[in-house]
């Protein structure tokens, strides 16, 4: 019997932490209890992307889009919608609009998005291969196996103009072509799912929401270059993604879509999962391969490139998750279709993890050429709390900050590079007027110090030196010559480091010095941090004209260093103050002043 | 100098045997050992060294390279405070300091009763919920320092 209604519950990590699993189980229970279990299919899907408003439940065919759902709401959703056919108005995203305006495409968060990579996320049950197949899944693999030759596949990718989504933007077809032509009968396909950029989670969501798209693409790649073995190198910190991938591999094998003699074509391809262990440098392809071989993940000089000598010295294609997820669609819809999306040199779409001080954080997929302003202000809904936009960091610890005046640049690999940043994996972190650029640069540099593998001196020593200088600036102990020092060390690291970790580690610092030199100088000359983030530079005092002597601050002070009689103005002993900011937070009269 | 070894439980030993001949097995085996003990005890590394005929130095080289592998026994409840960029901007550092002050431990120390330890971890991948705290496998999103005592107490048993 056909279902007349479908309820999609988001099963991404963000919503799962908001108890979406309990919502799912409650919906099942209620559907059973209220006698509609044969009429409503309840499905747990992958990430909808709108993490800010999770957990999310979507009901089809009405397209009701419920946000911030609680487990206890399940009863009402079933009783109202499944039994009586009425929407639960209080859970709709925008309660003020009429029913017809609540479709997903009417929500501004989704309006400018165009989904290729995330096509199935939030639509299908990622643990059921049949749902993937029903959405043209594995049609690309079938087409490749029976209608195309290896070189045709590569030619299609060339027409599509697909470039690597992991960072540098190397043309995918060229990588495949070089590996295909490399001598050797054993070749490997690696899927890089070691998403280490702090603030990016599109690869996790893709695997959690649509694992088969990655597996299908790996098999297509295997066919194109003549490889029978693929590895997915995935972060051990992503248990849900690993589970879904395991299920997907087992199902694909059962259906004859992976393993020996796929669909009777004579082509065999097997995929194995290998776990990372928390090292950012393993996102670098040569380091990743050393790690996959069971060693310390240290990069080696290129050339030879992986296409010639990669995993176990065999020719190897290594692509990241997002790159791969595009490929089945390119095969089924054609390279020309894909090339029409985006800009001339950067075709297709890009997924960004929009986070930080923005109203709608979440996963966003837009055509290349969309402007940063559209992403942050239209899709992202602007800055939280009506604060002023300060900058957006793209490319994580390897990228740079982009400021207000450059927000109208259309996004492409080239344009971001021209702005002193990079595409990177697609982290997009929005900062507002309360964020201190020196503090953020120090944060990124500390990350690079931690993650530097230590093999080459420019990175190992350079990151430490830059961190020390940034640290003393945030403590008011910097000197003006420090800015020139940072720039000099940064340039040396950029030129001389072995891999891109060191080669780009200076970017956040160099780009903030370029755009916010005054802020650095304020720290150095005036010992002032305008945002108050650099604690050592902040002093708290009490304005006697505003203080009514309520004693609340004195009670909350952990030191305690605030004195004063009841109903008399209080005083902070600055010499003992630990700058925790508690007094500032609790004062109801605005009497505590932060300088 | 050899020190005491441990006998691996049957399932773990079988896992090692299964992976023994596969190329690039070391990291996968270490993950399995850490799953068993919660960290990688020196004695277990010794046992492994003999089982797969690999120098202990090489095994330690790999263990100490990766953040995920621990050589010290963690608390029964591991608080993982996310210090990814999004969480950092939204107050991850304050959470870390507050948790350390509540539990009165620093760095990788464990509370005297062995119940808690704190890890500052890199991005757990739910930036939309920043700042994020994990206790074991349970994720808490949009956490404020005021909520910490309650969350910590909840996991006491």
Whether A427 and chain B come into contact, CB under 8 Å, resolves to yes
Q: Residue A532 falls within a domain, yes or no?
A: no
- pLDDT at position A99, please? 45
Whether A559 and chain B come into contact, CB under 8 Å, resolves to no
Chain A and chain B share a number of CB contacts under 8 A equal to 133
CA A374 to chain centre: 18
| Residue B135 DSSP SS3 | strand
Does one domain contain both A139 and A252? Answer: yes
Whether A467 and chain B come into contact, CB under 8 Å, resolves to no
**Closest residue on chain A to B22 (Cα):** A293
Tally of domains within chain B: 2
Whether A97 and chain B come into contact, CB under 8 Å, resolves to no
| Residue A429 DSSP SS3 | strand
Does one domain contain both B30 and B91? Answer: no
Does one domain contain both B45 and B82? Answer: no
Whether A352 and chain B come into contact, CB under 8 Å, resolves to no
Question: B90: domain range?
Answer: 77-154
**Averaged pLDDT, B40-64:** 96
Does one domain contain both A220 and A323? Answer: yes
Whether A362 and chain B come into contact, CB under 8 Å, resolves to yes
Does one domain contain both B60 and B106? Answer: no
- pLDDT at position A34, please? 94
Q: Residue A579 falls within a domain, yes or no?
A: yes
Domain end among A416, A432, A448: A432
Give me the percent of chain A exceeding a pLDDT of 90. 81
Does one domain contain both A443 and A553? Answer: no
With CB atoms and an 8 Å threshold, state whether A14 touches B89. no
**Closest residue on chain B to A19 (Cα):** B139
Q: Residue B19 falls within a domain, yes or no?
A: yes
Does one domain contain both B31 and B83? Answer: no
Tally of domains within chain A: 5
- pLDDT at position A499, please? 94
Q: Residue A113 falls within a domain, yes or no?
A: no
With CB atoms and an 8 Å threshold, state whether A361 touches B26. no
**Closest residue on chain B to A445 (Cα):** B85
Question: A391: domain range?
Answer: 349-432
**Closest residue on chain B to A237 (Cα):** B124
In this complex, the residue of B23, B62, B141 whose CB is nearest that of residue A18 is B141
Does one domain contain both A416 and A443? Answer: no
Q: Where are the alpha helices (DSSP H) in A226-299?
A: 239-254, 285-292
Considering only CB atoms, which chain A residues are within 8 Å of B54? none
| CA proximity to A347, closest of A359, A360, A329, A320 | A329
With CB atoms and an 8 Å threshold, state whether A198 touches B137. no
With CB atoms and an 8 Å threshold, state whether B27 touches A277. yes
Question: What's the gap in Å between the CA of A435 and the closest CA on chain B?
Answer: 7
User: Can you list the residues of chain A whose pLDDT is less than 70?
Assistant: 1, 95-105
Sort B72 into a burial class: Cβ within 10 Å, 0-12 / 13-18 / 19+. Answer: exposed
Q: Residue B52 falls within a domain, yes or no?
A: yes
Sign of CA dihedral B28, B34, B37, B38: negative
Domain end among A374, A401, A432: A432
Domain end among B26, B43, B65: B65
Sign of CA dihedral A312, A314, A319, A325: negative
Does one domain contain both A447 and A316? Answer: no
Say if residues A190 and A197 touch (Cβ distance below 8 Å): no
Does one domain contain both A494 and A371? Answer: no
In this complex, the residue of A52, A198, A279 whose CB is nearest that of residue B85 is A198
Q: Residue B90 falls within a domain, yes or no?
A: yes
Does one domain contain both B36 and B101? Answer: no
Does one domain contain both B125 and B145? Answer: yes
* Location of structure tokens 């702005």: A419
DSSP designation for A312: G
Summary mean pLDDT of chain B: 91
- pLDDT at position A255, please? 97
Q: What is the ipTM of this complex?
A: 0.91
| CATH number, domain with residue A199 | 3.40.50.11540
Does one domain contain both B100 and B32? Answer: no
Say if residues A82 and A38 touch (Cβ distance below 8 Å): no
Note which residues in 118-137 of chain A have CB less than 8 A from chain B. Answer: none
Does one domain contain both A546 and A446? Answer: no
Q: Residue A465 falls within a domain, yes or no?
A: yes
Distance between CA atoms of residues A305 and A280, nearest Å: 20
Q: Residue B1 falls within a domain, yes or no?
A: no
| CATH number, domain with residue A513 | 1.20.1440.230
Say if residues A400 and A511 touch (Cβ distance below 8 Å): yes
Considering only CB atoms, which chain A residues are within 8 Å of B123? 196-201
Sign of CA dihedral A352, A424, A467, A464: positive
In the structure, what pLDDT confidence band is assigned to residue B2 with cuts at 50, 70 and 90?
Answer: low
- pLDDT at position B137, please? 79
Does one domain contain both A22 and A140? Answer: no
Domain end among A525, A558, A579: A525
Say if residues A327 and A221 touch (Cβ distance below 8 Å): yes
**Closest residue on chain A to B131 (Cα):** A356
Q: Residue A120 falls within a domain, yes or no?
A: no
| CA proximity to A8, closest of A51, A72, A77, A56 | A56
| CATH number, domain with residue B103 | 3.40.30.10
Question: What's the gap in Å between the CA of B137 and the closest CA on chain A?
Answer: 9
Question: What's the gap in Å between the CA of A277 and the closest CA on chain B?
Answer: 5
Does one domain contain both A449 and A516? Answer: yes
Question: What's the gap in Å between the CA of B95 and the closest CA on chain A?
Answer: 13
Q: Residue A213 falls within a domain, yes or no?
A: yes
Does one domain contain both A256 and A359? Answer: no
Question: What's the gap in Å between the CA of B3 and the closest CA on chain A?
Answer: 24
With CB atoms and an 8 Å threshold, state whether A279 touches B26. no
In this complex, the residue of B66, B127, B129 whose CB is nearest that of residue A278 is B66
DSSP β-bridge partners for residue A469: none
Q: Residue B2 falls within a domain, yes or no?
A: no
Name every residue in B having a CB less than 8 A away from some CB of A: 23-28, 30-31, 61-62, 65-69, 83-86, 88-90, 121-130, 132, 137-141
| CA proximity to A552, closest of A535, A567, A574 | A567
With CB atoms and an 8 Å threshold, state whether B23 touches A294. yes
């Amino acid at each position: 019997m056909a279902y007349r209604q479908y309820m999609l519950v988001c099963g991404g990590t963000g919503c799962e932490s908001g108890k979406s699993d309990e919502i799912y189980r409650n919906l099942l229970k209620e559907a059973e209890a209220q006698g509609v279990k044969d009429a409503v299919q309840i499905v747990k899907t992958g990430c909808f992307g709108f993490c800010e408003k999770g957990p999310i439940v979507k009901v089809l065919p009405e397209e009701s889009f419920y946000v911030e759902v609680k487990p206890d709401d399940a009863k009402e959703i079933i009783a109202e919608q499944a039994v009586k056919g009425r929407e639960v108005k209080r859970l709709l995203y925008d309660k003020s609009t009429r029913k017809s305006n609540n479709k997903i495409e009417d929500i501004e968060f989704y309006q400018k998005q165009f989904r290729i990579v995330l096509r199935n996320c939030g639509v299908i049950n990622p643990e059921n291969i049949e749902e993937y197949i029903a959405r043209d899944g594995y049609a690309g693999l079938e087409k490749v196996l029976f209608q195309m030759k290896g070189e045709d596949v590569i030619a299609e990718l060339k027409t599509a103009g697909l470039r690597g989504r992991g960072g540098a933007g190397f043309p995918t077809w060229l990588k495949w072509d070089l590996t295909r032509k490399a001598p050797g009968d054993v070749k490997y396909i690696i899927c890089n799912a070691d998403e280490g950029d702090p603030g990016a989670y599109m690869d996790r969501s893709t695997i959690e929401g649509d694992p088969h798209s990655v597996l299908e693409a790996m098999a297509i790649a295997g066919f194109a270059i003549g490889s029978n073995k693929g590895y997915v190198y995935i972060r051990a910190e992503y248990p849900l993604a690993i589970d879904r991938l395991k299920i997907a591999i087992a199902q694909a094998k059962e259906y004859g879509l992976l393993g020996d003699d796929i669909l009777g074509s004579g082509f065999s391809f097997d995929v194995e999962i290998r776990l990372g262990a928390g090292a950012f440098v393993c996102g670098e392809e040569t380091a990743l391969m050393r790690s996959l071989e069971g060693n310390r993940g240290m990069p080696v000089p290129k050339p030879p490139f992986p296409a010639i000598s990669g995993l176990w010295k065999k020719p190897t294609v290594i692509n990241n998750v997002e790159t791969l997820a595009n490929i089945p669609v390119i095969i089924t819809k054609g390279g020309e279709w894909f090339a029409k999306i985006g800009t001339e040199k950067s075709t297709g779409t890009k997924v960004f993890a929009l986070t930080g001080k923005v109203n709608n954080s979440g996963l966003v997929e837009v055509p290349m050429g969309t402007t940063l302003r559209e992403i942050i202000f239209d899709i992202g809904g602007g800055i939280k709390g009506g604060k002023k936009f300060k900058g957006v960091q793209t490319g994580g610890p390897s990228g740079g900050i982009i400021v207000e005046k450059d927000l109208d640049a259309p996004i492409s690999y080239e344009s971001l590079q021209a702005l002193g940043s990079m595409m990177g994996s697609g982290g997009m972190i929005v900062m507002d007027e309360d964020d201190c650029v020196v503090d953020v640069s120090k944060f990124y540099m500390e990350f690079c110090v931690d993650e530097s593998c230590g093999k080459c001196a420019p990175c190992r020593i350079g990151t430490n030196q830059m961190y020390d200088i940034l640290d003393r600036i945030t403590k008011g102990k910097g000197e003006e010559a420090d800015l020139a020092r940072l720039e000099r060390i940064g340039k040396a690291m950029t030129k001389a480091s072995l891999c891109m970790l060191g080669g780009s580690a200076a970017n956040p610092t160099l780009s903030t010095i370029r755009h916010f030199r005054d802020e650095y100088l304020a720290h150095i000359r005036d010992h002032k941090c305008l945002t108050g983030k650099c604690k050592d530079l902040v002093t708290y005092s009490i304005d006697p004209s505003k203080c009514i002597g309520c004693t609340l601050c004195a009670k909350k002070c952990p030191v305690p260093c605030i004195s004063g009689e009841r109903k008399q103005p209080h005083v902070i002993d600055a010499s003992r103050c630990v700058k925790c900011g508690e007094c500032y937070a609790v004062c109801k009269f605005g009497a505590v002043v932060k300088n | 100098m050899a020190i005491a070894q441990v006998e691996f439980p049957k399932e773990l030993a079988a896992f090692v045997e299964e992976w023994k001949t596969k190329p690039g097995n070391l990291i996968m085996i270490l993950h399995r050992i850490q799953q068993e003990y919660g960290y990688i005890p020196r004695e277990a590394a010794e046992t492994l060294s003999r089982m797969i005929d690999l120098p202990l130095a090489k095994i330690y080289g790999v263990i100490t390279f990766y953040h995920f592998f621990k050589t010290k026994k963690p608390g029964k409840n591991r608080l993982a405070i996310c210090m990814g960029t999004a969480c950092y901007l939204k107050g991850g550092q304050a959470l870390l300091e507050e948790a350390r002050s509540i539990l009165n431990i620093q760095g990788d120390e464990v509370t005297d009763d062995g119940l808690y330890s704190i890890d500052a971890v890199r991005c757990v991948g739910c930036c939309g919920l920043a700042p994020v705290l994990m206790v074991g496998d349970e994720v808490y999103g949009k956490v404020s320092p005021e909520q910490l005592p309650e969350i910590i107490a909840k996991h006491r048993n």
